[in-house]
Every structure is written in structure tokens, then in C-alpha cells.
Structure 1
Amino acid sequence: MPFNAAGLRNIVLALGLMGACGAVSAQEAVPLTDELFDLHWVAIEYEGKIEGVELAPTTLVVSDREFGHVGGQTGCETDWTAKVEIALPKVTFSEVEGFYEDSCPAYKNTIALLNALEQVSYAETSPEGLELKAEDGRRVMLMVAGG
């Protein structure tokens, strides 16, 4: 079954987004905390992404906070890795690497993902999820928990 990014947008972060009566009300941004980076994330939007060509969700996981190791899977089901520095709200990625082959229909998304990560300067939360933003304030990536 192909990955449906639109369906992920409907996932509500399980971090206090329930209303007082237990029913889901209007989504609110959760606080930006270090603990958010302990979750597994799915990148549902990023600059340059072409919709409808991914074979799998694009994911992000901080695997080692002490040494700043981060990585995940691309839409071509290949690995990507980087170094991450988190000093909230500042978040930056360096040494971004990933493998891609042009035989995968989503290889251009892999390139776009790697380029987007290199532009990240800081993080914010919104009702939509975790936003990674460039120095100029534009959103270069939107992620939801659950990857």
C-alpha cells in the first residue's frame, strides 16, 4: 500500500492535545521541549518535495544526543544520516548524507530532503506539528510524531 502523506496530517500529537472532556478539540501547538527530539518523526512536508512518488514515509530519529547523531529513512527506503545540534530553539544539521539512485521514483525527494535539512536553523511547534525553519523564517520541513 503506498504511503499517504495527507493521512498523516490527521494524526494528532499524543502530547496533551486532548480537550477537557477527553474529546479532541482544536489542535494546539505543544511546547517546544528537548523531549520532542526523543520521538520518532515523519517529515510530511519539506522544500522541494514532489507528492505521490514516495515508496515509504520519510523519517527522522535522533539516535544519539550526546554525539549528535540523527538519521532516518528516505522515501526511497534508503538511509540518511547527519549531525544535529539542538540548543532550543536553535536546531542545525551538518554532515548531511544520503544514498539515492535515479531508478527510485522518489530520488528527487531524497535530494530535496538533504538540501532542506542543511537549511534548518531553528525549530518551532505549531498545531500542524514540529516545524523546522530556515534563518529567514520560512518553513523548510514539517514533521509529525509517529515515524
Structure 2
Amino acid sequence: MDFVKTADVNSYIQREALGGIKIPHSTSQPVIRLEDGKYCLAAFVFFYSREDIRLGEAARPQFWVAADICTGELTGENSCKEKEFSDASYRKKYSIRADGVYDTSREYYEKAFALLDEVRETLIDTGTLERQKYDRYLAKITANIPREYQRFYFELSV
């Protein structure tokens, strides 16, 4: 199997999650998840409305997708009501307001995704998760995520 870089996997997941539905939604950056005893990439999907954006809040994720750790091809789409990854309430909305100044530059994400590429390659080659390097990736990715929504990254991740 050919290794696909995280930046390309991320673009693919964002485009293809839930069949590319046209309802306003957002897809998280990929994380590594242990699913059925195997490592995979995973991302969650949440929906929002114009009113949510105005108020700076959104419902918790309602779906999550799994993708092959090497190729990034989607291997599963899961409704959280059927296969949950979080204990967050569905009855409230979570802040998506920026907590500070975020670095959303291309270079920032290239560096973050390069870290995940290294972790994935080691995982594929040796079966070992480089925890410290992976934690640096998570810290970098979640630094650009509002505090209330960061929990979903950590709950979906290994």
C-alpha cells in the first residue's frame, strides 16, 4: 500500500465524509484511534447553522469517520448515537468562539501534519505509537481549537 501524506488524507476526509453532504458542517483534523484492536485515522463531523455561527456555538459532533492508517481511505462512517466516542451532552451547545489568536497558516498545518506523518510511518513500520511525538501533534492541532471543542479531539483519539 502506498503511504498518503496526512495533508492529502485530511483534504480527502473533509471532502468525502458523509458522502460529501451539502449541509453546513465541519470536519475535525485527523487523529489516531484504536478501533477494534487496530490503529486508524479518525475525524469527527459536526453540523452548524448561521445562528450557531452568530452565537459562537455548535452542537457536539454527531458523526465520526474512520480511515485507513496508511492510505487514508474511509473505512467507516459512524453515527455517535450508534457508536459513541464521547460522553458530552447532546442537550447543550459548545463554544466555538476563538479563545485567542490562532495560527491557521498553511505552514502551521504543514508542520503539524508532518508530525503526524512521522508518527503514522513509525506505527505502520514497527507497530509502535510514538506517544511523545503524537502528543506534540495533538497539542499543535488543538491549539487552534476553542477550549470547549478540544475535548472531542482527545476523546476520539488514542
The question of a shared fold, defined as TM-score above 0.5 by the shorter chain, is answered with no
TM-score, normalised relative to structure 1: 0.29
Task: Identify the structure with the greater helix proportion.
Answer: 2
Task: Identify the structure with the greater strand proportion.
Answer: 1
